[in-house]
Amino acid sequence: MRTLYLFLLVILGNVPQHALVAQSRKTSVDPTVRFDRYVQQAVRDWQVPGLTVTVVKDGRVLFKKGYGVREAGKTEPVNTETLFAMASTTKAMTAACLGMLVDEGKLRWDDPVINYLPDFQLYDPAVTRELRVRDLLIHNTGVGNADYLWTAMQIPSDEILHRMRFVKPVYSFRSGFIYQNIMYLAAGKVVEKVSGMPWETFIHKRIFEPLNMRRTQALVRQVTDANRARPHIQINDTIRLVDSRTEEELVDAIGPAGSAWTCPDDIAAWMQCMLDSGRYEGKTLLKPTTWAELLKPQTLVTDSQFYPTQQLTKPVWKTYGLGWFQHDYRGHRINLHTGSLTGMIAIHAQLPDHKLAVYVQGNLDHTELRHAIMYRAFDEFALGVSHDWSTEFRQLYGGIRQRAKAAERKADSTRVRNTNPSLPLTAYMGSYNSPLYGNATVTIKDSKLHVSINNVMTGTLAHWHFDTFRLAYDQFWNGHDPVSFVLNSQGRVARLNWNGAELEKQPDVSGKGLAGGK
């Protein structure tokens, strides 16, 4: 109607011809061009060093592009071959690996886990007995976050699973939802036990090879290509490079939960396969019924465990499948999963009834531009809506950051000033141990206490008040945490409490370093 209106005005001589031409050009802009412009601006607004976006629809690649640079301050550009961390978007692949074994009749979703991992124990023996393969994938086991088992220590995956028996539950079995990475490691171990090959070998042979994902790697240590992104984090409005040898290497210990790396040229095949009932170019990775089971809602997700974007998108329902979150958006179902490692982000999302999927990867810590691009892609390529999610999410997350800073200032205000430690600094020196949390060693350097936690996380302990110190990590991206020392009835240091973890002080066989020691 607008075009017809302008055309009539031209005939009547009341509007210049060029106005009609401009209107025609506006209405005929290619959606991919409009989407590309939107992403370019959003990347600038969010100050992301590098990003990739892949969109597939109706069995073909609709959009595939890299933006920015692999590392801030350098010139190597991101392209469609640049490798980024998949992080927790790997989980959907691990679930699919189990699905393949279900298809082969080698296991069932509701088999007891101890049938395959007889040594795997949780804190509650009853839960150990009742735990099913399906439970490993849907975050309902009663176990809270236990990521310290891989982020704060460098131990083999079997040892990580062994220590799960010491982790106390925080809610009743199958009565809630708390996101849990370690259970996906157990799922990978089930794959290994049933198939006879390690998870990283199985996923390569059964997913990467059939889908011709030639550049994709299952483990970080396998990523040796120079064309890879480097992780960054924003500290006080400054984008800083993160030492990629830290969490990236540690995540291999829980590989099935999030260690894979990929690029747009590869991930498009996985996206198409997951949209087309587990099929790709004449190959069938999963039976249709098994593929449907992966995407079927399995458990409810609470508000506290869902993304803050819900404050603006206002979903009516939120669920979790086998490696996929789900919620409603503009009357349609979305399947999605994010991935986050220090300095790296990803998101994989589907709009199934439009045969549309989008995958975003970036190299800036927890930049929620990923959500904005996801919803924009759905709006642009399927729903016919023009909505500026990027601006709205920047305001949303900006407010969240401001509230977090205010909460930190409030916590700091509780500090009791002009206090001193109960004992000389030498009394706090020594080794501390926990069967669950590992080891911490406290020493003195330059007249200050220093701590090394499992030889992975280190830093300086500055006195805060009484026997509480503030740990400033040498790994700056970890920020700071409280460390408190607890004295026994004899006035000696008995325990160290680090960010909620309690470690017992070990006897000093040399006779030195005791509380009040000289």
- For 367-397, how does the pLDDT look when each residue is reduced to its tens digit (9 = 90+)? 999 999 999 999 999 999 999 999 999 999 9
Q: What gap in Å lies between CA 427 and CA 517, rounded to an integer? A: 6
Q: What gap in Å lies between CA 108 and CA 98, rounded to an integer? A: 9
Is residue 308 within 8 A of residue 396, CB to CB? The reply is yes
The fraction of the chain above a pLDDT of 70, given in percent, is: 92
- For 391-408, how does the pLDDT look when each residue is reduced to its tens digit (9 = 90+)? 999 999 999 999 999 999
What's the pLDDT at 481? 96
Is residue 74 within 8 A of residue 241, CB to CB? The reply is no
Cα–Cα distances (Å) from 445 to 373, 392, 442, in that order, read 48, 47, 10
* Tokens found for residue 255: 């590989």
What's the pLDDT at 143? 97
Residues of the chain with pLDDT under 50: 1-26, 513-518
- For 454-485, how does the pLDDT look when each residue is reduced to its tens digit (9 = 90+)? 999 999 999 999 999 999 999 999 999 999 99
What are the start-end ranges of the H helices in 181-336? 182-195, 199-203, 247-250, 255-258, 264-275, 288-295, 310-313
What's the pLDDT at 85? 97
Q: What gap in Å lies between CA 38 and CA 232, rounded to an integer? A: 23
Identify the structural domains of the chain with CATH numbers, from first to last: 47-405 (3.40.710.10), 425-505 (2.40.128.600)
Cα–Cα distances (Å) from 373 to 215, 338, 380, 428, in that order, read 24, 13, 10, 50
Q: What gap in Å lies between CA 352 and CA 332, rounded to an integer? A: 8
Is residue 459 within 8 A of residue 450, CB to CB? The reply is yes
β-strand partners of 233:
240
pTM for the model stands at: 0.92
Q: What gap in Å lies between CA 5 and CA 193, rounded to an integer? A: 70
Is residue 335 within 8 A of residue 347, CB to CB? The reply is no
Note the Cα 363 to chain centre separation in Å.
12
* Mean pLDDT over each residue of the chain, to the nearest integer: 93
Q: What gap in Å lies between CA 6 and CA 13, rounded to an integer? A: 10
β-strand partners of 60:
57
Percent of the chain as helix, strand, coil, to the nearest 5: 40, 25, 35
